Amino acid sequence: MAPPPHQRALLLFPLIFLLLLLLAPPRADAWGKEGHIMVCKIAEKYLSEKAAAAVQALLPESAGGELSTVCPWADEVRWHYHWSSPLHYANTPQVCNFKYSRDCHNSRGEKGMCVVGAINNYTEQLYSYGQKTSYNLTESLMFLAHFVGDVHQPLHVGYEEDEGGNTIIVHWYRRKTNLHHVWDVSIIDTAIKDFYNRSMDTMVEALKMNLTGGWSDDITHWENCKNKWATCANDYAIESIHYSCNYAYKDVEQDITLGDDYFFTRYPVVEKRLAQAGIRLALILNRIFDGDKADDRLLQVQ
C-alpha cells in the first residue's frame, strides 16, 4: 500500500539527498565547459585540411561537425568510466617541478595514469587511424582534445596535499568556492562578464586575434619542446606546475578573499594557457593525421 502523499514526500527527501551525494563529483576537475570549448574552437581554426577531414570522420553525429562540442565529454563520463578520473591531472609532492616517473600514476600506483600519460596514450591510439584497430578512436579523439586542455590548466598539475587546490577554500569576490574551481571556471567567467560583453564567442575571437597579433611571434616557441618523443605533454605539465607555484598558489591561504588584485594579475595567464592549449592540440592532431608533412611545417591559419 502506498503511503499518503506527505509521507511519500518525506521518504523522497533522503532518497534525493542520497542521489545528489552519489552524483556530486567528489572533486571538480578540468577547465569548466567553457574553457574546454574555447580551447577546441581555437584548435579547429589551426587544423590542416587533412587533419580536419580525419576529425570530421571521427566525430560522433551529435557533434554537428564541431570538435568543440565534444571537448567537455571526458568530464561527463568521468564517473561512468571511473578509471579515467585520474587521467585529468597530475600531482606533485608539494614541489614546483613535475617528474613523470615520480608523479604520473593513479592512487593505486599504476604508472602512466595521469594527464601526461593519457595524452601520450590517446595520441598513440589515434596514430592507428585508417588501419584496423581495437580502439574506439572517436573516444580517443574526445579524450585527447579534453586532456590537452586540462594539462594547460595550471592547477591540474598542482600539489597532492591540497588536491590541486580543491581543498583550499577561498572566496571569489563574495562567493565561496575553492582555488581549483577559481582556475577552472571563475577567472574565465569573470573575464567573459567584465571584458567580453558576457559572450564566450567574443572571448574566443579576442584570443584568436591575439594569436595573429601580439602572440604570433610566440607560436613557434609554443610548438617546440625538449622532448621530441610522442608529444610534448611532459613539458606542458612542467609549465603548469610553474604557473601553479608562481601564480595560482602564490599569496593564497585558506579562507582568503580573492578579488580584483588576484583577478587582474592572473587572467592573462589563463588566457595564454587557453590559447596555447588550442595551438598545441591542433599541432598534435596535424602531426597525427597529416604525418608526412607535419614535422617541418609551421602551423598555418586557414
Ligand X SMILES: *[C@@H]1O[C@H](CO)[C@@H](O)[C@H](O)[C@H]1NC(C)=O
Site for ligand X in 23-82 (CB under 6 A): 60
Tell me which of 42, 55, 74, 118 binds ligand X, using CB under 6 A.
118
Contacts of 33 (CB under 8 A, 6+ apart): 72, 75
Nearer to ligand X, 225 or 267 (CB): 267
Nearer Cβ to ligand X, position 144 or 294?
A: 144
Q: Does 268 bind ligand X (CB under 6 A)?
A: yes
Supply φ then ψ for residue 177, to 5 degrees: -160, -160
Could you say which of 113, 192, 233, 237 contacts ligand X (CB under 6 A)?
113
Would you count residue 229 as binding ligand X (CB under 6 A)?
no
CA separation for the pair 297, 221 (Å, rounded): 14
Burial group, residue 68, by CB count within 10 angstroms (0-12, 13-18, 19+): buried
CA gap 214, 208 in Å, rounded: 10
| Residue 212 is a binding residue for ligand X (CB under 6 A) | no
Which stretches within 24-168 are classed as H helix?
A: 33-45, 49-58, 73-76, 100-103, 115-126, 137-152
| Selected binder of ligand X within 160, 210, 235, 252 (CB under 6 A) | 210
Q: Does 148 bind ligand X (CB under 6 A)?
A: no
- How many binding residues for ligand X (CB under 6 A)? 18
Are the beta carbons of 256 and 170 closer than 8 angstroms? yes
Cross-strand pairs, 172:
175, 258
The span of 136-144, 152-160, 175-183, 217-225 binding ligand X (CB under 6 A) equals 136-144
Q: What is the grid cell recorded at 8?
A: 511519500
Pick out residues in 84-103 that bind ligand X (CB under 6 A). Answer: 87
The smaller minimum CB distance to ligand X, of residues 133 and 224, is found at 133
Which of 90, 136, 98, 122 lies closest to 231, judged by CA? 122
Beta carbon of residue 140, minimum distance to ligand X (angstroms, whole number): 7
d(CA 97, CA 92): 7
Contact pick of 214, 228, 261, 295 for ligand X (by CB under 6 A)? 214
Nearer to ligand X, 128 or 167 (CB): 128
Instruction: Give the nearest distance from C-beta 302 to ligand X in angstroms.
Output: 21
Q: Which residues contact ligand X (rule: CB under 6 A)? A: 60, 83, 87, 112-113, 117-118, 121, 136, 138-139, 197, 210, 213-214, 268, 271-272
